[in-house]
Amino acid sequence: MASVDLAAVFGRHEFFIRRLHSLTGLIPIGGFLAFHLATNASILDGPAAFEHRVDQIHRLGPTTLFLVEWPLIFLPILFHGLIGLAVVSRGKRNLRHYPFAENARYTLQRATGVIALIFIVLHVFHMHGWLRFDAFHRWAQSVGGAQFNPENVATAAAAIQSSWLVVVFYAIGVSACVYHLANGLWTMGITWGAWTGPAAQRRATAACLGVGLILAVIGLGALWGMATLDVSTATGFK
């Protein structure tokens, strides 16, 4: 049986793959990131507000959630992440010899992509445990995963507060995700020919910077809310 030369397949279809890669970074991944950060930031209004947001999501039911999460969230993230790793492995970073701002952004884009992928995998395990069947869920809990219980929203804050290392991990991960999306919007515009001239690129830089700052405030605000919530009074909120 002949083996598949993945490098050759990537080379033959690179134009299509790169555009699909950039598109999934915006839709649905970018949209989901903004929604997810905003949902978590509702903790700043108190556990009741966060509980209301969580209930709205889980009211869909496990079957509908599965049909939404996998085709619209998890599979696009896996595709985007794996293609991103292929791009990183094929890319040439010349920051040491050519320390221009664009080259620094190029390098940061790929570095934050790797960090973001690792963070997402570990974050999903930490809060949800990856798989939903009971045996795996119990094992995940025994090793520090699957800490979030939607029936008790304070468990999310408790999971964050378990160690200062967890807080640092989330701060780095959220920042990497936000930078990767904001700078990725700029590079996506280049890829799709939306802004090619210097003036258009300067305007796009300002717009993408604004998007990044807004999402960073929302994401780190959500982390602050989780890290400072009085879990002793919020636990068993329902």
235-238 contacts at long range (C-beta below 8 A, 24 or more positions apart): 235/152, 235/154, 235/155, 235/158, 236/152, 236/154, 237/47, 237/48, 237/51, 237/152, 237/153, 237/154, 238/51, 238/151, 238/152
Which tens digits make up the pLDDT trace of 164-223? 999 999 999 999 999 999 999 999 998 898 998 999 999 999 999 999 999 999 999 999
**Lookup: tokens for 1:** 């049986």
46: left (phi over 0), alpha (psi -120 to 50) or beta: left
pLDDT at 100 over 50: yes
pLDDT at 107 over 50: yes
Query: Which pLDDT score is estimated for 235?
Result: 57
Q: Select 24-234's CATH number: 1.10.10.10, 1.20.1300.10, 3.30.830.10, 3.40.50.300.
A: 1.20.1300.10
Average pLDDT across the chain, whole number: 90
- Does the pTM surpass 0.75? The reply is yes
Query: Which pLDDT score is estimated for 89?
Result: 84
d(CA 36, CA 149): 16
Averaged pLDDT, 72-88: 94
Query: Which pLDDT score is estimated for 4?
Result: 54
Q: How confident is the model at residue 1 (pLDDT cuts 50, 70, 90)?
A: very low
**Residues 197-235, buried b or exposed e (16+ Cβ, 10 A)?**
eeeebeebbeebeebbeebbebbbbbbbbbbebebeebe
Query: Which pLDDT score is estimated for 90?
Result: 76
CA gyration radius, the chain: 20
